[in-house]
Structure 1
């Protein structure tokens, strides 16, 4: 569908369009009151256009092992399934879903359906918790660092985290929430990390504990290094599923350099600083928000412990996908500042600018 877009700039088109939309939101928030009906109507229309175009653009991207590394691997497996070669040993829901699709459709429609399932939960979450302001939350989801990558490359991880987001839409309907948690885990078993964070923050509801866990993870990671990788991924039985993430040289799809990534720790701190400010400075004691903060803090602390591993970005995303609501939720639920919506425009812009600058830095 978008074959006219050269592959070398295919991702760049996405990031640049999002940058233009970011500027529109920023300028609009400076000049107009985004609470006015005209403003809301404008961004609702823009939001629906963005969702449709994003699904089509992401879902019908050309197959490329060079520019969307894992995509070529998925297509290879898909074609084998179409020829009757089926060997499913893990991530059962995803693999049986792929097998079912392979029996009835071309692989390009499989990738399209995957991205429908990846993007729509973010819209549902935004609509449920942000109501008339859903566009801004959705933009922050879509503008999050690695959101594009997990819709085009690490699609199993991306689908699993989107099902986790969908599960949180049923926060008051526990059986439905846990059903979606289970589906997410069956799509990619790494979802056990945010699920463990959810359970831990359900049992210990003190946000100070979450903050201490996150802060403690930094010196522990610096001091322990590979000890934490050995503990979590060998002694605790994760080695088979994650050995490719933890060993070897950096490859496409992993962080561009190894070692302790202070730049990504800075990015992670956005969610921690936001949670600290809203909970401890502004005294927002919203049960759901504190739980979100707990999930994010604990899951991100896990990543910090294994930050030096190859492919540790795949563990980072198991918390980063929650950062958008951690930052945005209180600003559309509570009165915090005098010029609140101007401030939000600035915060949204800073949030996306990190993503955009990292794209420019990496050149892809």
Structure 2
């Protein structure tokens, strides 16, 4: 992916990305990468050492295949999906199917909203920080966020969109947070308010993070809907460390700054984009309030999965800069380098 990121940058500096030959080249490369990424993620070894949750899912899958009576409580869509798969395929192909469901919605979203330039958006999706982790460890959470992305492909068909939103929620209850953010930003369409909410969340979290954790997880029942994030039932290694994570906050600020810049400085008034930005900012503000909690990175991903389109969407819909694609090349490399450097740190 680092090589691909530099290819995009070099190509943008030398050629015009709008050139037909250039578009064909990256589209072809995109399909190859889509195929490779799906197989690479889907056919990974079942290892409790590297993929803790994967080993747990594998044990449950084995019990289902053996006919053990398994009581299903919550996340009904995912659990019944898993039960059905256990009747017709081996665990190896189950994880391949899971990876396919996780990755394909990002491709469909990119094709719908970016057209001939879909590869660039797709690369940003897959190159996002924690994309790999939620395809291999936080599996239910990852699938649910991808179904949410798929639902956004039907933004103009509200009934179908909300149907897939419900499916996403039934895959993982934590999707209540981005769903609530989506509804809130749809009812109140002032992006300035979204920014005020996010900025206010930082001092509020610093002043009383435990107060917010107690409110959300003990009094409002969020702990039941977020499947053990706070209790520490699941882990992502070094990224589950506690404390006020300024590095994660900086990463979140990329999306907030991008939306502020495009909407207020470049006057992008696209209804879908403003709604998308509001969903991202409100969901991320919730995470900021509980940033010091155990495993709060899992709450962060409930907004981070939308960061790629928040940054990329206006650049392929509107004329923003004189040398637009050169600027985009720099943005892609900067965006991906955070993921790459965090990978090296891990």
Q: What TM-score, normalized to structure 1?
A: 0.93
2:256 maps to 1:272: yes
Superimposed CA distance per residue, residues 307-361 of structure 1 (whole angstroms, 9 cap, x where no aligned partner): 0111111100000000000000000001010000000000011000000000001
Does the CA contact (< 8 Å) of 2:101 and 2:143 recur in 1?
Answer: yes
Where does residue 144 of structure 1 map in the other structure?
128
Does the CA contact (< 8 Å) of 2:78 and 2:172 recur in 1?
Answer: yes
Where does residue 9 of structure 2 map in the other structure?
26
Where does residue 335 of structure 1 map in the other structure?
319
CA distance in 2, matches of 1:206, 1:240: 31
2:151 maps to 1:193: no
Q: 2:42 aligns with which of 59, 68, 81?
A: 59
Does the CA contact (< 8 Å) of 1:210 and 1:298 recur in 2?
Answer: yes
2:33 maps to 1:50: yes
Where does residue 77 of structure 2 map in the other structure?
93
Where does residue 88 of structure 2 map in the other structure?
104
**Structure 1 residues without counterparts, runs of 5 or longer:** 1-17
Does the CA contact (< 8 Å) of 2:240 and 2:295 recur in 1?
Answer: no
Does the CA contact (< 8 Å) of 2:106 and 2:122 recur in 1?
Answer: yes
Does the CA contact (< 8 Å) of 2:144 and 2:169 recur in 1?
Answer: yes
2:334 maps to 1:350: yes
Q: 2:190 aligns with which of 166, 184, 206?
A: 206
CA distance in 2, matches of 1:73, 1:278: 43
Q: 3-state SS of the aligned residue for 1:335?
A: coil
CA distance in 2, matches of 1:100, 1:249: 25
Does the CA contact (< 8 Å) of 1:255 and 1:310 recur in 2?
Answer: no
Does the CA contact (< 8 Å) of 1:121 and 1:165 recur in 2?
Answer: yes
Superimposed CA distance per residue, residues 143-169 of structure 1 (whole angstroms, 9 cap, x where no aligned partner): 000001111111100000001000000
Give the alignment of 1:140-179 within 5 angstroms. Answer: 140-179=124-163
Q: 3-state SS of the aligned residue for 2:88?
A: coil
Q: What TM-score, normalized to structure 2?
A: 0.98
CA distance in 1, matches of 2:80, 2:190: 40
CA distance in 1, matches of 2:9, 2:309: 19
2:219 maps to 1:235: yes
Q: 3-state SS of the aligned residue for 1:246?
A: coil
Give the alignment of 1:10-25 within 5 angstroms. Answer: 18-25=1-8
Where does residue 82 of structure 1 map in the other structure?
65
Where does residue 23 of structure 2 map in the other structure?
40
CA distance in 2, matches of 1:31, 1:42: 14
**1:248 to partner: Cα distance:** 5.5
Does the CA contact (< 8 Å) of 2:133 and 2:236 recur in 1?
Answer: no
Where does residue 245 of structure 2 map in the other structure?
261
CA distance in 1, matches of 2:325, 2:242: 39
Q: 3-state SS of the aligned residue for 2:229?
A: helix
CA distance in 2, matches of 1:155, 1:341: 34
Superposition RMSD on alpha carbons, in Å?
1.3
Where does residue 361 of structure 1 map in the other structure?
345
**Structure 2 residues without counterparts, runs of 5 or longer:** none
Distance 1:252-1:173 versus aligned 2 partners, 3 A rule = closer
